Amino acid sequence: MRLVILLLLVLSALHGTYALKTSMRNSLRNQVLIDYKNAMIPILYKKIAHMNFPPSHKSGSVDIDTWDTYVDVAPISPAQIGIIFLSGTTSMQFTGSGFLVTGASKVRAKWHFIQKTVDARVRITKLGFNAQISFVCNGGKPNIVVNHFKIGLSSNDVSIDIGGGLINWILKLVINMLKGRFISGIVESMEGKLPAQMTEQVNRRLNTLSSTVKIGPYLSLHYSFPEAPFVRNDYLLTSIAAFVHPNGNPNPPPYQPKDIPEFDAAIPQGIQFFISDYVVKSAVDASFAIGKLTATMDRDINGHNVKMLCRATNSPSFNFINAIDVVIDALCDVTFDNQPTNRFALVLQLHLNLKEYIRAAVIFFAISQASFTKLEYKINGPVDIEWFKKGINQVLETAVALVNGILGERGFPLPVVKGIDYTQTVQYIKNGYMEIGVNPVFNITAMEAEDVADV
């Protein structure tokens, strides 16, 4: 019965330790979880098709021992498992009905001086369950609590056949006692053990996953849950505090993100991501802090070989206002014709418009437009640079190509779960945040399902 455990793992994409103001949000439609469940049922059935039960003993007017007990579960249809989000709560409801189970057991019945051992065959024509699970926040990480877990099994749904020759009145007595023992044993075992096992296994998985994702060799993305996931309509919402920092220095930037919406009902995609410009700006600031906002070039311009080293002199300003705008102040050291005396410096301010795109569940940015808003030449000697001034647009084109190449090597990964691909991606830049909608496609293999199940 690890089905509930596996269905919940799709919700464990993000977690961490900082309780900052929300800078990212995820919205997950109920239908996404249902599709995940439908993809997992054929694989999960293989894990629960045959189950063994430990020996048990019941004392009363008749002592009954059972051992070598097992049950076989008939093939399960995805329609037999129901999942719904409970709107206005932090909970989900799971239901199951109509499961066919057959099994067998060795039984020893003792009444005063009469003792008999028989083989019993069991058939359950209708087994069901009902469970409710709530989400809580535990130190910046999502955890679950099982509110209730009930097994639906009545005496009328159980038939027991006993082989061997017995006096009729003893046979009847054993059958009745065996049926009650079997039913109570199944119910007690599942209701008493599964909720605690499920809670322990899922929370252990959530609490031990890393809260940091590396972005290239120098930067990392750190994130946490400041509050428990919450249900609105058919969405499960997660609020996330996230920022980018240099590796080994997991401190948030000295400014706060703006509020971003919970979800956009006009977007039909099953999963939505909202990423504040705070997150991207933190990446820009972190890159500047460790001196990674540099660009070099070596090329011929107007008959001269030009070598340039440009570096940002201030953390670039960055914002989302229906587009991505960046303003960079930079100082460039220029040498041409391989002569140390042929040197000068540029002081510039560059205005950029960025275009974002997604490839393989990673967000990338590239410069779509660039223009100088300030350009000064600092010359230490009598160097003729009129040819360079005429070729400055060529320099800008080269610099843009270089920066785009650098950005193309990085990117911000979307939170993903093993065995899921994203399709039909839509992207929007809004005031202060980026909005991304995707539809998941489940391609869970048997091996991946094994990895997920054995937590």
Rounded mean pLDDT for each run of 10 residues along the chain, 455 residues in total: 32 36 89 88 83 82 83 90 90 91 84 77 88 89 90 84 62 68 76 82 84 85 89 88 90 86 88 91 90 86 90 89 88 91 91 84 83 88 86 84 71 74 88 91 68 47
Q: Are 59 and 112 in contact (CB under 8 A)?
A: no
Assess whether 201 and 275 both reside in one domain: no
Q: What is the DSSP string of 378-426?
A: EESS----HHHHHTHHHHHHHHHHHHHHHHHT--EEPP--TTEEEEEEE
Distance CA 72, CA 52 (A): 9
Q: Is position 233 within any domain?
A: no
pLDDT of residue 455: 36
Kindly state whether residues 117 and 195 are assigned to the same domain.
Answer: yes
Domain of 203 in residue numbering reads as 31-209
In a domain, 20, yes or no: no
| Domain harbouring 321, CATH code | 3.15.20.10
Distance, CA of 121 to CA of 163 (rounded, Å) = 8
- Residue reference for tokens 């995805």: 78
CB atoms within 10 A of CB 13: 20
As a whole number of angstroms, the distance between CA 238 and CA 135 comes to 10
- Residue 68 main-chain phi, psi, to 5 deg: 50, 40
Shared domain for 48 and 158, answered yes or no, is yes
283 plus 354 within the same structural domain = yes
**How does DSSP assign 39-52, residue by residue?**
HHHHHHHHHHSEEE
In a domain, 221, yes or no: no
Same domain membership, residue 262 and residue 148: no
The answer for residues whose C-beta is within 8 angstroms of residue 117's C-beta and 6 or more apart is 106, 107, 108, 109
Number of domains in the chain: 2
Four-CA torsion 284, 290, 291, 293, nearest 10 degrees: -20
Q: In this structure, what are the phi and psi dihedrals at residue 398, rounded to the nearest 5 degrees?
A: -65, -40
For residue 17, the model assigns a pLDDT of: 34
| Domain co-membership, 398 together with 343 | yes
What is the spatial distance between Cα 262 and Cα 356, in angstroms, rounded to a whole number?
22
Task: Retrieve residue 3's tokens.
Answer: 């089905």
188 and 271 assigned to the same domain: no
Whole-angstrom distance, CA of residue 48 vs CA of residue 62: 32
Any domain includes 6: no
Which pLDDT does position 454 carry in this prediction? 46
The Cα–Cα gap between 11 and 236 comes to 9
Contact 10, 33 (CB under 8 A): yes
Same structural domain, 196 and 258: no
Residue type, 305: N
The pLDDT assigned to 175 comes to 67
> C-alpha dihedral over 213, 215, 219, 221, to 10 degrees?
-40
Q: Does 9 fall in a domain?
A: no
Tell me how crowded residue 170 is: count the other CB atoms within 10 A of its CB: 14
Could you tell me if residue 446 is inside a domain?
A: no
* Residues 5 and 198 sit within 8 Å (Cβ to Cβ): yes
Closest CA to 228 of 316, 172, 144: 144
User: Could you tell me if 191 and 323 lie in one domain?
Assistant: no
